[in-house]
């Protein structure tokens, strides 16, 4: 599961030489406040690095970058984030997905207030939502400390380097050992960034550019003749599918009813239009009426369909069948949520909604 020790020095030198000429050197949280790259051993702002690394846990760099810029403008410091209203934090995170990351960032900010920034793996792992690779990336990026990383790009690069015969999830210990072995202790920040850049720009999932790879001569997957066959993939599994009936409930004043999810799960704390799962053999209108009765204690008249939205999460596929509804009776109560609220349709943009709701809101505004 490893490269020969004499090769390690050559691999480090080749990778760093390639990175100095072709790496991504304009990532803002990897630069000093004056826009220049840090010298070896120089510390960077750990707050900006931490925010970026959490965003990058489930998001590509080009997608996360504008969110990071807006975040740093709105919450420029640990203290600003700790003092912010959760509503504002979630609203700024909207459409980035996996909203639990935003809540964990704020929880971490409140835990870190009044304490020095951690410079140990254990110190970062004690914060919510921080795993070993994220902690290693923060420590190497912010403080230039010698901690290895193993994100998706790095797993792919290392699995190809040794032509690992099993999926990365089944070889994590070996890949971690390899990442630690290869890490340049003199330039850990540059080496880890070079490793990530290699995976992002050269050793890509499909059609890797092996002709310009600094590790081509050492790569077992390239020697085998089919580098794209690595990493070996897990057998695909079929995602469960559910139909969700959703009610856009309007009152006589033209307001619509929204409720705030409990602070649990990936979408905790976000607002949504009420509804729930369709039972076997149940008509969708009956689903909506039942769910609103059970979750909000109200009676509605289910009207015409507004829109159907398909949305896939990492663990399931959903179809939201959305109907316009008229409120008939009952004072809305948050029986399965934090709170409920009547709002004007034009105010919906002031609330953080899951990504799947954006098309529902657009369809509603177009209808009015």
The total number of residues written for the chain in this structure: 368
- 10 Å CB burial of residue 21 (0-12, 13-18, 19+) is exposed
Q: Return the structure tokens found at 89.
A: 């934090």
Q: One of 42, 53, 122, 279 is an active-site residue; which one?
A: 53
Which residues, including other chains, have CB under 8 Å from residue 362's CB and lie 6 or more apart?
Answer: none
Catalytic, 304? Answer no
Q: Say if CB 97 and CB 89 are below 8 A apart.
A: no
Residues 6 or more apart in contact with residue 38 via CB below 8 angstroms: 30, 31, 32, 44, 144, 189
Q: Is residue 7 within 8 Å of 220, Cβ to Cβ? A: no
> CA of 323: how far to CAs of 170, 275, 287, 309, in Å?
45, 10, 11, 12
- Closest-CA residue to 260 (of 286, 216, 296, 311): 296
Give the residue numbers marked as catalytic: 53
């Amino acid at each position: 599961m490893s490269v020969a020790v004499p090769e390690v020095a050559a691999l480090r030198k080749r990778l760093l030489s390639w990175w100095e000429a072709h790496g991504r050197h304009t990532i803002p949280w990897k630069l000093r406040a004056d826009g220049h790259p840090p010298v070896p051993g120089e510390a960077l702002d750990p707050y900006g690095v931490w925010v970026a690394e959490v965003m990058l846990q489930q998001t590509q760099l080009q997608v996360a970058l504008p969110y990071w810029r807006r975040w740093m403008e709105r919450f420029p410091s640990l203290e600003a984030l700790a003092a912010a209203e959760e509503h504002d934090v979630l609203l700024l995170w909207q459409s980035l997905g996996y909203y639990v990351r935003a809540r964990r960032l704020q929880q971490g900010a409140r835990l870190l207030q009044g304490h020095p920034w951690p410079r140990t793996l254990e110190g970062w792992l004690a914060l919510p939502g921080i795993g070993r690779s994220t902690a290693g990336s923060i420590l190497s990026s912010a403080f230039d400390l010698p901690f290895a990383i193993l994100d998706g790009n790095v797993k792919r690069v290392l699995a190809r380097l040794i032509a690992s015969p099993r999926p990365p999830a089944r070889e994590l210990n070996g890949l971690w050992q390899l990442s630690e072995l290869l890490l340049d202790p003199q330039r850990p920040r540059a080496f880890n960034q070079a490793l990530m850049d290699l995976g992002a720009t050269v050793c890509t999932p499909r059609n890797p550019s092996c002709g310009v790879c600094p590790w081509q001569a050492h790569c077992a997957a390239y020697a085998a003749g089919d580098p794209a066959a690595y990493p070996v993939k897990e057998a695909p599994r079929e995602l469960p599918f559910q139909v969700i009936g959703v009610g856009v409930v309007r009152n006589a004043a033209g307001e619509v009813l929204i409720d705030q999810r409990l602070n649990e799960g990936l979408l905790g704390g976000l607002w949504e239009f009420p509804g729930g799962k369709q039972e076997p053999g149940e008509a969708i209108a009956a689903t909506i009426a039942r769910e609103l009765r059970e979750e909000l204690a109200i009676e509605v008249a289910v009207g015409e369909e507004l829109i159907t939205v398909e949305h896939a999460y990492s663990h399931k596929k959903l179809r939201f069948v959305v109907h316009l509804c008229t409120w008939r009776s009952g004072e809305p109560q948050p029986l399965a949520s934090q709170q409920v609220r009547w709002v004007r349709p034009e105010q919906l943009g002031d609330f953080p909604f899951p990504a799947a709701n954006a098309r529902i809101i657009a369809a509603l505004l177009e209808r009015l």
